[in-house]
């Protein structure tokens, strides 16, 4: 079992238990974080900042050219985005700068209002970003359909590419994407060769540079492709085309600052909102992408060899983004950029991915990149003015084409949202960004309503009954057709209703419920099934209404109704947690404390079964048999087809479990569910109290030792886990044991837990604790201590000690809190027997990237995932005082070599 849990190795602060006399238990908490530390710069951050700087300078100048803005404005926004957003943002590795997504919008604003008013609009958008970030609205922005977001960015990319193509061809772009497309034929008729050739050279180097082969290729690929293409194009233009149009950086003394906006208020508000929308979405999407790239890098998955950025070795993971803080940081950067005469700022996917892949580990890389851009703006003006405009235009044109991402197209097509994606692109290209987003939202709503209302209802006469098939979602929109179809059926007749959908609203449910009640009242029989034919529900009566078609997995018994023997009014038939008391090891028949409390109208009979009062004892036994048969039937119908191939492979090859899992027989512990395991994964030993008798215990307790010896010496398991749980009845019974307790089977078994009780009361051992809180009571304290003590018993077994000395076996302690559905793992040192603190750390919900050879996620009935078939189980000895096991169940299975 791999789990994402923090293990603390520093035990000096809590090496001794608190005083027993005080009655106070000290909580176990991690040391406080260091404060007031200096801003540290790692070597990886320094090299990554230089890599991103070499990409950002030509990109910033190119975007300024594309927006028809002052060229120094691109450098200003790159420096502010790197320094300000890098320091204040919530995504440490995200690199911000001039927004590629706002290229078309900013160009249009400059044409309509002029440069100084555009700066004021940028300030207004930044202030709104700060407000939205303070209101914690960042997550809400991600609620927009990905098809609309990616369609918007793709439409902007198409508009960018069309505009920059004119500059590459030696002309100037038109006012809109449509005008640029219409003017292309005329532009191709009067070409000047210099600019197109330089642009073509730039694109060729961008494409070829990351794919240069051999040792020389690996060496030169350390230089970013963007910088290499612009540098080569500049050198060639200096020799072959000295008269080509180049970058012209004006004097900083003529730099324009913002002015108060002038124009219609509604138009200015629309402009501010457009800048806010595009810049925020671009930044938040880039932040999510950076999180994924960082997680991939931490997991050891490097980028492909064709990447234009050198791939760094695996780095430690960085914390996930704080999107609200990121939005506030972007807002502050936009306010400062507008005040200083810079372009709108947003997080950039190209720069950020380059930063991650270059090995950056903290926000120092982002900030340093901004510092280098600031220095270049003051010291490298002469060198920058040699760059041809055609080279920058070609660079930005490639960026525009990259915004039309084939992977995004494939994803939206897979999810049947290509219509929304295409409508958004068309709207952005033809009408503008805000209009395109509005069109995309309208189409998305229309598609959703169409899917919601698209319900097909067919009625088939099968002679003795009618089959009603409902495909699609049942909402109030489908109620008229549903009522008409159901009304055509003969009253009092038998019917099977097959529901093939995942949603049913109240109106549709009431329609089906009223019709079903009327049919049943007139002598008819109605059965509800899913697409696979399995019964999912039947109508509930007024007196007993716990069953619903959408009822989740729960421990209820809708079939226990008087007058309905054998008619299973139950949503699902398989066993749920708490329904099956499993005792695979040790004495089983005498421990009722571990099982869930029986129903109010039942008592425990002498055989261990639940018998009803009076002379109706046969009925519960028939009900239990029916529930067992129903569970087996559910397994054969739902689960068996999905795991049959895997079980057949295990039958051929023999079992090779990697873990021995020792846990309690409590019915609430479904080990396959807790550990996300399947057939062949766990060799499971279950007994009352998850006890491991030490070697040399009396005869009759050898079943656990035999299982340990078989798992370690024959199956060669790699780890052994002892799992305790909250509310353990065995631990409660152990604490309440008195000298005059009858010497029953239960007492003889629980005496193996006496060392745990002695350990808890001893002053020579640290108390077992849960990280973040104290044990709730003495019972929980004993449950935790018992896990640690049983690990000590394990280490005393000869086979375990030998494999531990060889380094081929690991021991783990685990505690499962039933009420919280939360697992805790014992600290590594304590599990190995070398730690001082016995601390159980909370297991988080992060994905350990654990791959499985089979997939059972498609089950329509979650209760089909019982423990049947999930574990290799060693059953109890035949002498246990409980229901007899099937013949041969006490024998060890023979495994292949």
User: Are the CB atoms for 167 and 389 separated by under 8 Å?
Assistant: yes
* CA distances (Å), origin 520, targets 72, 146, 493: 80, 47, 9
SS (H, E, C) 576-587: CCCCCCCCCECC
Active site residue 728: yes
Angle at 599 between CA 594 and CA 600, to 5 degrees: 120
Roughly what angle, to the nearest 10 degrees, separates helices 146-168 and 265-298?
100
C-alpha 73/C-alpha 84 separation (Å) is 16
* CA distances (Å), origin 555, targets 566, 579, 580, 862: 19, 7, 11, 13
Roughly what angle, to the nearest 10 degrees, separates helices 103-113 and 265-298?
160
Roughly what angle, to the nearest 10 degrees, separates helices 349-357 and 364-379?
120
Active site residue 35: no
Beta carbons within 8 Å of 637's beta carbon, 6+ residues apart: 532, 533, 534, 864
Beta carbons within 8 Å of 155's beta carbon, 6+ residues apart: 424, 425, 426, 427, 428, 429, 433, 436
List the catalytic residue out of 547, 723, 728, 783. Answer: 728
C-alpha 459/C-alpha 472 separation (Å) is 15
Instruction: For 682, list phi and psi in degrees, rounded to 5.
Output: -115, 140
List the catalytic residue out of 246, 328, 668, 797. Answer: 668
Place of tokens 């120092």: 364
Place of tokens 């005469």: 341
Interstrand relation of 719-725 and 659-664 (parallel, antiparallel or unpaired): parallel
Q: Where does 408-494 show beta strands of DSSP type E?
A: 456-461, 466-471
Active site residue 668: yes
Angle at 660 between CA 658 and CA 662, to 5 degrees: 155
List the catalytic residue out of 119, 664, 723, 783. Answer: 664
How many CA atoms does the CB half-sphere of 674 hold within 13 Å? 26
SS (H, E, C) 759-780: HHHCCCCCCEEECCECCCCHHH
List the catalytic residue out of 725, 793, 817, 871. Answer: 725
List the catalytic residue out of 291, 584, 666, 701. Answer: 666
Hey, what's the torsion of the CAs at 68, 74, 76, 79, to 10 degrees?
170
- Considering only CA atoms, which of 404, 343, 334 is closest in space to residue 98? 343
Q: How far apart are the first and last CA of the chain?
A: 24
User: Are the CB atoms for 434 and 279 separated by under 8 Å?
Assistant: no
Residues marked as catalytic: 664, 666, 668, 725, 728
């Amino acid at each position: 079992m791999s789990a994402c849990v923090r293990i603390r190795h520093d035990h000096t602060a809590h090496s001794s238990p608190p005083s027993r006399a005080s009655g106070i238990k000290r909580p176990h908490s991690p040391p406080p974080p260091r404060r007031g530390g200096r801003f540290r710069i790692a070597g990886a951050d320094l090299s990554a900042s230089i890599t991103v700087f070499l990409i950002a300078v030509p990109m910033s100048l190119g975007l300024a050219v594309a927006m028809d803005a002052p060229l120094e404005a691109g450098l200003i926004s790159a420096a502010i985005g790197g320094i300000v957003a890098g320091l204040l943002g919530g995504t440490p590795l995200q690199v911000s700068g001039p927004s590629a997504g706002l290229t078309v919008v900013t160009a249009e604003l400059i044409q309509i209002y002029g440069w100084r008013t555009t700066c004021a609009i940028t300030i207004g958008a930044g202030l709104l970003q700060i407000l939205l970030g303070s209101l914690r609205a960042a997550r809400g922005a991600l609620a927009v359909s990905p098809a609309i977001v990616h369609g918007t960015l793709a439409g902007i990319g198409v508009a960018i590419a069309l505009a920059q193509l004119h500059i590459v061809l030696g002309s100037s772009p038109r006012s809109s994407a449509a005008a640029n497309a219409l003017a292309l034929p005329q532009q191709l008729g009067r070409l000047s060769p210099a600019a197109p050739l330089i642009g073509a050279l730039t694109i060729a180097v961008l494409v070829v540079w990351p794919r240069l082969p051999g040792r020389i290729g690996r060496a030169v690929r350390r230089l970013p492709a963007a910088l290499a293409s612009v540098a080569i194009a500049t050198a060639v233009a200096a020799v072959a085309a000295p008269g080509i149009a180049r970058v012209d950086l004006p004097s900083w003394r003529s730099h324009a600052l913002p002015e108060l906006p002038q124009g219609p208020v509604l138009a200015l508000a629309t402009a501010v909102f457009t800048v806010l929308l595009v810049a925020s979405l671009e930044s938040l999407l880039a932040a999510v992408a950076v999180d994924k790239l960082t997680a991939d890098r931490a997991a050891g998955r490097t980028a492909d060899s064709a990447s234009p950025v050198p791939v760094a070795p695996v780095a430690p993971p960085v914390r996930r983004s704080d999107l609200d803080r990121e939005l506030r940081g972007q807002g502050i950067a936009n306010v400062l950029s507008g005040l200083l005469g810079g372009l709108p700022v947003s997080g950039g996917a190209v720069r950020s991915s380059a930063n991650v892949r270059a090995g950056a580990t903290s926000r120092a890389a982002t900030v340093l990149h901004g510092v280098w851009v600031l220095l270049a703006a003051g010291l490298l003006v002469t060198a920058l003015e040699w760059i041809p405009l055609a080279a920058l235009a070609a660079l930005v044109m490639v960026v525009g084409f990259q915004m039309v991402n084939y992977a995004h197209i494939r994803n939206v097509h897979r999810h049947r949202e290509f219509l929304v994606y295409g409508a958004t692109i068309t709207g952005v290209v033809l009408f503008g960004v805000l209009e395109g987003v509005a069109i995309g939202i309208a189409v998305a709503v229309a598609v959703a309503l169409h899917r919601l209302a698209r319900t097909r209802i067919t009625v088939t006469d099968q002679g003795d009954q009618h089959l009603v098939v409902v495909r699609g979602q049942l909402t109030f929109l489908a109620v008229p057709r549903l009522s008409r179809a159901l009304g055509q059926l003969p009253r009092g007749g038998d019917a099977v209703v097959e529901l093939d959908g995942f949603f049913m609203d109240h109106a549709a449910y009431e329609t089906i419920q009223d019709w079903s009640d009327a049919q049943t009242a007139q002598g008819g029989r109605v059965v509800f099934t899913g697409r696979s034919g399995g019964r999912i529900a039947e109508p509930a009566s007024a007196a007993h209404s716990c069953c619903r078609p959408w009822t989740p997995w729960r421990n209820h018994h809708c079939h226990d109704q008087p007058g309905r023997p054998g008619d299973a009014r139950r949503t699902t038939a398989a066993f749920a947690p708490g329904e099956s008391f499993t005792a695979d090891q040790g004495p089983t028949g005498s421990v009722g404390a571990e099982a869930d409390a029986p129903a109010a109208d039942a008592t425990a009979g002498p055989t261990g079964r639940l018998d009803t009062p009076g002379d109706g004892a046969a009925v519960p036994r028939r009900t239990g048999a029916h529930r067992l048969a129903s569970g087996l039937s559910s397994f054969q119908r739902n689960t068996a087809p999905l795991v049959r191939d895997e079980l057949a492979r295990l039958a051929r090859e023999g079992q090779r479990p990697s873990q021995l899992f020792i846990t309690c027989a409590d019915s609430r512990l479904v080990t396959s569910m807790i550990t996300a395991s399947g057939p062949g994964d766990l060799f499971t030993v279950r007994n009352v109290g998850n006890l491991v008798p030490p070697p040399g215990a009396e005869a009759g307790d050898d079943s656990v030792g035999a299982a340990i010896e078989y798992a370690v010496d024959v199956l060669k398991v790699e780890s052994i886990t002892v799992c305790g749980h909250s509310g353990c009845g065995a631990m409660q019974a152990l604490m309440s044991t008195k000298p005059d307790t009858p010497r029953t089977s239960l007492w003889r078994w629980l005496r193996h837990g006496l060392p745990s009780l002695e350990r808890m009361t001893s002053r020579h051992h640290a108390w077992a604790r849960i990280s973040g809180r104290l044990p709730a009571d003495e019972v929980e304290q004993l449950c935790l201590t018992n896990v640690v003590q049983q690990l000590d018993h394990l280490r005393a077994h000869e086979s375990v000690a030998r494999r531990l000395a060889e380094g081929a076996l690991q021991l783990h302690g685990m505690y499962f809190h039933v009420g919280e559905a939360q697992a805790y793992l014992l600290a590594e040192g304590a599990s190995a027997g070398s730690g001082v603190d016995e601390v159980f750390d909370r297991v988080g919900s992060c994905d350990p990237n654990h791959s499985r050879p089979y997939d059972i996620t498609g089950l329509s009935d979650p209760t089909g995932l019982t423990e049947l078939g999930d574990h290799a189980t060693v059953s109890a000895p035949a002498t246990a005082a409980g229901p007899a096991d099937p013949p041969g169940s006490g024998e060890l299975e023979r495994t292949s070599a």
